[in-house]
Chain A
């Protein structure tokens, strides 16, 4: 079995007086797309920040593959207006990239025209794309994306996920992302983790959408779960089956997690 890119065991994170994460364990294997779902304030961003080494966990350990290259798109980034910074210069922080390389990457994420525009003058959607370009320029083996499609219009969002999929295909990069878009989650992820301070349930989208913990978390009745299941089902007809086979063997622990979890 391949070594996971990153693995967290028994992570507890405290922010101020609040224990935001309690006993969270997860791993991401090369090439898989894992999505974290959870209500506002459930600790999704905190989990990514702990995995990135921005926050120090109170308990628990994080193991990264040595020399792991990570590309990070934070949930929010406020750039002070006093800091004059074009998109091109932003892409070279902290590691310098050549002009041709940055321009090619901006074109790839769909905003070739913003290279010389100040970051504070970009629209929300343009800003998100530049953030993604910066993450991709590090040639990541693991992309960590925190609500990356905020501010994108619908075609933009679809293009965004296509691009992520393309990047995975071309470079084999794994993706760990936070998303609220259940449809996308169910169709584009190999594995879903439901978080609410702790891991409520995890597994393939199909398993999770039927887990009672998941339905309780999102206030879905039987109806809602059925609708989601239907959605997954539709998706399975297109390309889901071999998809599940190729990744299924890694996730034996998924369903059992869902069953024995915190009552």
Chain B
């Protein structure tokens, strides 16, 4: 069954949606939408480095994404404004990545695959990487859930309860880095942030608890993957952007539904 490229594509997307639902909820709650961009754009640099040094691309992107995560967490712990820092890092990382890629002829040819993803070309090995990463992220979140939620609510309350908010933030950005590295092949660097933010934002108006928001965001992400793949197949549109398009449509539906319930 895994021989079918469509099934592999769907499984890859579902694995990604499972991780981005709960993680994206944190991204929305903490107002760090740029983090996805910053890390994803930095991973383009990882692609170039990996290809230049003959290392597996997944390893290169993971290493650069982790480095970016640690940098961001370190700056935030020192009191830097997160949105500005991320904005600067996101756009610089993309520029550096694109410049670096231009020195690596092999990367130049399939750059668009890394920018927009190539979910239909997912291999069995990719699938293992994606589901392994998603499982790791979900385990991290399950383990730290209440602590991370408290630190998100208020770093003061978390510290007063004996938690270390800097550590909780680090766990979160590490989980994000792993997710981004895993998602690069599926939706591409330009659309990873969309998969983090849009399903969670769509879920927000329909739920009353953080746990429900995380679960519904994962569900919406999964629906977007399945819907996007069908769209891509029937209209011959690029898969990654199609998935995000469907997610955006679900967001509009959910937003109007939430409005109606309020009235």
A residues neighboring B (CB under 8 Å): 49, 52-54, 70, 72, 74, 77-80, 82-86, 89-90, 92-96, 116, 118, 138, 144
A93 in complex: contacting residue of B146, B156, B212, CB < 8 Å: B146
B160 in complex: contacting residue of A70, A80, A90, CB < 8 Å: A70
Residue of B nearest to A86 (CB): B208
Residue numbers in A under 8 Å from B155 (CB-CB): 54
B154 in complex: contacting residue of A74, A82, A86, A92, CB < 8 Å: A74
A72 in complex: contacting residue of B31, B152, B160, CB < 8 Å: B160
Residue numbers in B under 8 Å from A144 (CB-CB): 160
Nearest 9 pairs of A and B residues by beta carbon: A94-B150, A54-B159, A72-B160, A52-B160, A93-B150, A94-B146, A83-B29, A82-B28, A54-B156
B212→A94 contact, CB < 8 A:
no
How long is the Cα–Cα vector from A116 to B146 in the complex, in angstroms?
19
Knowing A77-B154, A80-B29 are in contact, say whether A94-B209 is a contact too (CB < 8 A): no
How long is the Cα–Cα vector from A176 to B163 in the complex, in angstroms?
21
B189-224 CB contacts (< 8 Å) to partner A = 201, 204, 207-210, 212-213
Within the complex, the shortest CB–CB distance from B165 to chain A, in Å, comes to: 9
B249 at the interface (CB under 8 A from A): no
Residue numbers in B under 8 Å from A74 (CB-CB): 154, 156-157, 160
Residue numbers in A under 8 Å from B161 (CB-CB): 94-95, 138
B160→A54 contact, CB < 8 A:
yes
State the majority secondary structure of interface residues on B: helix
B125-164 CB contacts (< 8 Å) to partner A = 146-147, 149-150, 152-163
Residue of B nearest to A71 (CB): B160
Residue numbers in A under 8 Å from B157 (CB-CB): 72, 74, 77, 93
A85→B160 contact, CB < 8 A:
no
Residue of B nearest to A75 (CB): B156
- For the A-B complex, the count of residue pairs with Cβ-Cβ distances under 8 Å equals 71
Interface size on B, residues (CB 8 A): 27
0/1 interface trace, chain B 157-177, chain A, CB 8 Å (1 if under): 111111100000000000000
B159→A86 contact, CB < 8 A:
no
Residue numbers in B under 8 Å from A72 (CB-CB): 156-157, 160
B153→A85 contact, CB < 8 A:
yes
Residue of A nearest to B27 (CB): A82
Residue numbers in B under 8 Å from A89 (CB-CB): 209-210
Residue numbers in B under 8 Å from A83 (CB-CB): 29, 152-153, 210
A84→B208 contact, CB < 8 A:
yes
Within the complex, the shortest CB–CB distance from A219 to chain B, in Å, comes to: 31
Q: Identify the interface centre among B152, B156, B207, B212: most chain A CB within 10 Å of its CB.
A: B156
Residue of B nearest to A45 (CB): B156
Residue numbers in B under 8 Å from A79 (CB-CB): 153
A53→B160 contact, CB < 8 A:
yes
Residue of B nearest to A116 (CB): B208
Within the complex, the shortest CB–CB distance from B21 to chain A, in Å, comes to: 14
How long is the Cα–Cα vector from A13 to B161 in the complex, in angstroms?
21
Within the complex, the shortest CB–CB distance from A197 to chain B, in Å, comes to: 21
Within the complex, the shortest CB–CB distance from B104 to chain A, in Å, comes to: 40
Residue numbers in A under 8 Å from B162 (CB-CB): 53
Residue numbers in B under 8 Å from A80 (CB-CB): 29, 31
Within the complex, the shortest CB–CB distance from B234 to chain A, in Å, comes to: 35
Residue numbers in B under 8 Å from A116 (CB-CB): 208
Residue numbers in A under 8 Å from B147 (CB-CB): 94
How long is the Cα–Cα vector from A95 to B150 in the complex, in angstroms?
10
Within the complex, the shortest CB–CB distance from A96 to chain B, in Å, comes to: 7
A82 in complex: contacting residue of B146, B159, B204, B212, CB < 8 Å: B204
Within the complex, the shortest CB–CB distance from A143 to chain B, in Å, comes to: 12
Residue numbers in B under 8 Å from A92 (CB-CB): 146
Within the complex, the shortest CB–CB distance from A253 to chain B, in Å, comes to: 28
Residue numbers in A under 8 Å from B149 (CB-CB): 93-94
Q: Identify the interface centre among A54, A84, A118: most chain B CB within 10 Å of its CB.
A: A84
Knowing A89-B209, A89-B210, A94-B146 are in contact, say whether A84-B153 is a contact too (CB < 8 A): no
How long is the Cα–Cα vector from A70 to B162 in the complex, in angstroms?
10
Residue numbers in A under 8 Å from B208 (CB-CB): 84, 86, 116, 118
B160→A84 contact, CB < 8 A:
no
Residue numbers in A under 8 Å from B210 (CB-CB): 83-85, 89
Residue numbers in A under 8 Å from B160 (CB-CB): 52-54, 70, 72, 74, 144
How long is the Cα–Cα vector from A94 to B148 in the complex, in angstroms?
9
Within the complex, the shortest CB–CB distance from B93 to chain A, in Å, comes to: 26
Please list 11 pairs of residues, one from A and one from B, whose beta carbons are closer than 8 Å in the complex, sorted by A's number. A49-B156, A53-B162, A79-B153, A83-B152, A84-B213, A86-B209, A93-B150, A93-B157, A94-B147, A94-B150, A144-B160
